[in-house]
Structure 1
Amino acid sequence: MMSRNAEALFWIGRYMERAENHARLIDVHYHLQTEDLQGLQLAGQEEKTETLCKWGRIVDALGSRAAYEQQYGAFTEQDVVHYVTLDRDNANSLVTCVNHARGNVRSMREKLPSELWDAINGFYLWLREKQSSDWGRESPHQFFGRIKEWTALFNGICQSVMPRENEWHFIECGRYLERTENTLRIMQSVRTNGTRNAEPPEEMEEIYPFLQAVLRSVSGYQAFRRYYADGVLPDAIVEFLVLNTVFPRSVHFALHELDAHLRGIDLQEKQMRVAHDRIIRQVGKLKAELACLEREDLTLDPDGKVTGNLLQAAQQLGVTFAHTFFRIGEATA
């Protein structure tokens, strides 16, 4: 497979996973902020301002604080929502991700099912007509719900009609590497937003809505309750989203899927196979480090160094993937 084709397929998976993550994250947080403001109707202006500034958590979870502050400055609801969804100057906004994914699918139309093009093209044509002023005329929940439906349609077509050949494996590699990074960024937000093992009842009452939102932002609230019942604590959430073996958005699950799809790639050139084996070993090393983690390692990590190191390792995997399969300098972040 030519390197530019591998790159296009890999980034189709990453972009669509990123778009879904953005939609779910901001939808959940939007309603969390709405509840906060309703509870602060009689509060002072200082407390209201503090609540609005919590929109910065969204930007932190996406790893875009520096770029956002350079462009917008303060973290307001209107600016953050526009930046994450419809800002074409933001290389990682929802509309930009969908546009790039569409371009990559178009370049690969001869090798991909036509249904994939129909889905991504319809998604983009619908999304490009949206304006920031639409928030006042329609429910944000309906808008982000529609985004999730479009991405689910695209992913469902991938799963149901694509032959299990290199094209499918490259898309899935992109999807699961992106998912690993997204989940770890959310884990970092758990550690950096005042949620470190709040044990007194009054403190737990304060942060409970945020912890619930963290779980809902990965569609993991109900699954978490099956394992931990009412034990909605920061350390339990980190353990669940890092170490759980069966939840599809845990780091453990995503890394094992990434490893399986990497091994499914069939390469003919000997030089490529050598590089391919190298990245498989790198993923295996990260899996081994994860397997050695105990709950205590996460519990005794109040500053999030463990999850931070895992995030750096996942990001390095992306760099290695580019050097292994793409033409250097062509990979698109």
Structure 2
Amino acid sequence: MLNRNAEALFWVGRYMERAENHARLIDVHYHLQHENDFAHEEHKWSRLIDAFGAREDYRKQFDQFTERDVLSFMTLDRGYNNSLFSCVSQARNNLRSIREKLPTELWDAVNAFYLWLGDMQVADMLAEGPNPFFRQVKDRIAMFQGLEHSVLPREQEWHFIESGRYLERAENTVRILHSVLAAISADRAAPYAYLNAVLRSVSAAQAFRKAYADGMSAPQIMEFLLTRRSFPRSAYFAFERLEEHLEDIGRFEGPAAGTPLHERALRQAGKIKAELGCVEREDLTPDAAGALLLRLTEGCRGLGRTMADSFFRLEEASA
């Protein structure tokens, strides 16, 4: 496999996962609007922008934080690289560059998704209510993932897409937990509704209840979303799968498989997974969790750079 093809596949996985994460977070935000801490209109929408770390980009286009402007910016904006439309567009561009090497069902799903989003207007979302729109977004991404699991041979193409998906998933989970930490830093007794919304944003509410019954605290949520080995959106689960896919990449002839940089990527993934496997309750108190989350953030970024150096640098892809 060419380096540029491997990179394109990796970013297809990342961008589709990122689009789903954005849809989940924005949808949950709408469910939270009736809470007291969202009573102020400006704070209500600036908080969502801050959750994505997009305040600087948003301020380049808009002076105030309103529902219409924030929704437009986060979903359909062509200029913001991390809008939902931009994520799907970039996934489509990468997939288009290698579409002849993949089952046609994958291209058909992403292209139809892109065309549907391209026809959407903010007024349409507001008229019908944003929740049905985001439900359709999640359904379309689930369809792509189902097709990928059903029709893509378990060869290098599969492992690069899945590596991108799980690295992005781990970063997203850590980013969500940063927002939890910020909330409890401002108020040690974070509102129940807010904590429940965090769980719902990763479809973890029911699984969390099975593990903790009636408990609901920020340290418990951090423990669950960082270390739960059976939950598909925990950071531990993501790094366990990422490590497996990196190992499987080495079983095929292809870009940099078995090289020192490939081995380094494996070691980095294994090191992060091992740290997550050794997390104790005292590591998740508000005072200690910040350092842990910063290490995980840097670990994700460092692993991404190592993978780029190992597999992608000799030839460039659109990413």
Deviation at 1:72, TM superposition (A): 2.6
1:251 maps to 235
Structure 1 residues 250 and 149, CA gap change in structure 2 (3 angstroms): same
Structure 1 residues 99 and 302: CA distance shift in structure 2, 3 A: same
Following the alignment from structure 2 to structure 1, what is the Cα–Cα distance between the partners of residues 186 and 205?
Answer: 19
By how many angstroms is 1:328 displaced?
Answer: 6.3
Q: Give the match for residue 7 of structure 2.
A: 7
Structure 1 counterpart of 2:305: 319
Letter in 1 for 2:258: R
State the secondary structure of the residue aligned to 2:32. helix
1:63 aligned counterpart, secondary structure = coil
1:273 equivalent in alignment to 2:258: yes
Write the deviation string for residues 262-295 of structure 1: whole angstroms up to 9, x where unpaired.
1111343696421211110111111122222112
Q: Is the 8 A contact 1:15 1:100 kept in 2?
A: yes
Q: Give 3-state SS (helix, strand or coil) of 1:71's partner.
A: coil
> Which residue in 2 is equivalent to 1:289?
275
Report what 1:99 is aligned to.
89
Distance in 2 of aligned mates of 1:332 and 1:68: 24
The answer as to whether partners of 1:322 and 1:328 remain within 8 angstroms in 2 is no
1:55 matches 2:55: no
Q: Identity over aligned residues, as a percent? A: 53
Aligned partners of 2:45 and 2:65 also within 8 Å: yes
Map of 1:23 onto structure 2: 23
Which ranges of structure 2 fall in alignment gaps of 5 or more residues?
Answer: none
Instruction: Give 1:86's aligned residue.
Output: 76
Deviation track 1:7-43 (CA, whole Å, cap 9, x = no partner) reads 100000001000111111100111211x23xx69xxx
CA contact (8 A) 1:286 1:313 kept: yes
Comparing 177-186 with 271-280, which one deviates more in the overlay? 271-280
Using CA pairs below 8 Å that are at least 6 residues apart, which structure has the higher relative contact order? 2
The answer to whether the 8 Å contact 1:197/1:234 transfers is no
The separation in 1 between residues aligned to 2:121 and 2:98, in whole angstroms, is: 30
How far residue 310 of structure 1 moved from its aligned partner, in angstroms, is: 0.6
Question: How many residue pairs align between the two structures?
Answer: 317
Aligned with 1:156 (options 143, 146, 154): 146
2:56 is aligned to 66
Is 1:63–1:185's contact at 8 Å kept on the other side of the alignment?
A: no
Write the letter of the residue equivalent to 1:158: E
Distance in 1 (alpha carbons) for counterparts of 2:225 and 2:132? 27
Distance in 2 separating the partners of 1:113 and 1:84? 30
Moved more, 56-65 or 149-158: 56-65
How far apart in 2 are the matches of 1:61 and 1:221? 20
- The answer to whether 1:119 aligns with 2:109 is yes
SS at match of 1:261: helix
Structure 1 Cα separation of the partners of residues 159 and 138 of structure 2: 22
Which secondary structure state, in structure 1, belongs to the residue aligned with residue 154 of structure 2? Answer: coil
Distance 1:243 1:61 in 2: 22
Letter matched to residue 22 of structure 1? H
2:243/2:266 contact within 8 Å kept: yes
Once superposed, what is the RMSD of the aligned Cα atoms? 2.1
In structure 2, the residue matched to 1:215 is 199
With normalisation by structure 2, the TM-score equals 0.93
Cα distance per residue 1:202-221 (max 9 Å; x no partner): xx6xx111111111000111
User: CA separation in 2, counterparts of 1:23 and 1:2?
Assistant: 32
Is residue 10–residue 171 contact of structure 1 (8 Å, CA) maintained in 2?
yes
Q: Offset at 1:251?
A: 0.3
Aligned to 1:139: 129
Match of residue 44 from structure 1:
none
1:225 maps to which of 188, 198, 209: 209
Q: Secondary structure at the match of 1:163?
A: coil
Correspondence for 1:165:
155
Supply the AA of the counterpart residue of 2:294: G
1:104 is displaced (CA, Å) by 1.5
Structure 1's 270 and 181: CA in aligned 2 closer, same or farther, altered over 3 A?
closer
Residues 128 and 189 (structure 1), Cα distance of their counterparts in 2 relative to 1, 3 Å cut: same
The structure-2 alpha-carbon separation of the partners of 1:243 and 1:269, relative to structure 1 and needing over 3 Å to count, comes to closer
How do 1:190-201 residues align onto structure 2 when only pairs under 5 Å count?
190-194=180-184, 198-199=188-189
